[in-house]
Amino acid sequence: MSPILVRPVREQLEHDRVIRQLQAKFRRKYEVGINPAGELNVPVGTGSAPIYPDVVLMAMDRGRRVQCVVEVETGESVNHLEALAQWAHLSRTRVPFHLYVPAGMVDVARRLSEDNNIHVAEIWSYHSVGDQMRFTMAFRNKETPPPVPKKPTVPKEPKAVAATGGNVKKAAAGPGRKTAVKKPIKKKKKK
């Protein structure tokens, strides 16, 4: 449970609006689970104390492996208690932890995470423009490795290819192999 027991109504509406916009933003790349307004829909982790981040991004394949967890904060909730109660636990998961804060709170969020040894992969700021929310990356942790592609691409060795002589073939030359060439067969002319 969050240390902010009662968030002001205006901020709670803004918080839930950001969560729903993030759901729409990530829908094409991930299966997105959300936990708005204290709902406990999608947990991360197992055991006696699962964690319920605001947004959980999962792979679209069968395993539905968690790819990233996102926590959305409002002006009131970027504080020391929130950092220790939620951010610290989310940063200990084995997936990247992204933090979304209002535009004016980026420096505060970054300082809180550094002071409390909380590993945040990315900090994003958001601000409202009419009915839309605009998201801007404010910080990326350089220690965070780039995301691993779903299917690693391994170059295939070329198959034996026929040369121009028709009966000359080259074997596939991989690392540490020599290219083998069959010599053409010479036909003897009859006299």
What's the pLDDT at 177?
55
**Which secondary-structure segment (H or E) carries 26?**
helix 9-26
Q: Is residue 152 part of a domain?
A: no
Same-domain status, 134 and 76: yes
Average pLDDT, rounded, for the chain: 82
Q: Per the domain annotation, does 191 fall within a domain?
A: no
Answer whether residue 82 shows pLDDT above 50: yes
pLDDT at 132: 85
pLDDT of residue 182: 63
Residue 109 lies in a domain: yes
| 1 in any annotated domain | no
180/88 same-domain check: no
Q: Both 84 and 171 in a single domain?
A: no
Question: Amino acid identity of 21?
Answer: Q
Q: Picking from 30-34, 71-75, 119-123, 167-171, which range would have the lowest pLDDT averaged per residue?
A: 167-171
Same domain? 70 vs 37: yes
How many domains, the chain?
Answer: 2
Q: Bigger pLDDT: 89 or 154?
A: 89
* Same domain flag for 32 and 126: yes
Q: Tell me if 4 is assigned to some domain.
A: no
Same domain, 93 and 176: no
Residue 35 lies in a domain: yes
Residue 22 pLDDT exceeds 70? yes
Q: What percent of the chain has pLDDT over 70?
A: 72
> What is the structure's pLDDT at 48?
81
The answer on 84 and 166 residing in a single domain is no
Expressed as residue numbers, the domain containing 89 is: 9-140
DSSP string, 64-105: --EEEEEEE--TTT-SHHHIIIIIHHHHTSSS-EEEEEEGGG
Residue 190 inside a domain? The answer is no
Q: What is the pTM of this model?
A: 0.72
Q: Chain-centre distance of CA 29, in angstroms?
A: 10
Name residues whose C-beta falls within 8 Å of residue 77's C-beta, 6 or more positions apart in sequence.
Answer: 2, 4, 7, 11, 15
Res 49: pLDDT = 84
- CA–CA separation, 109 vs 97, rounded Å? 13
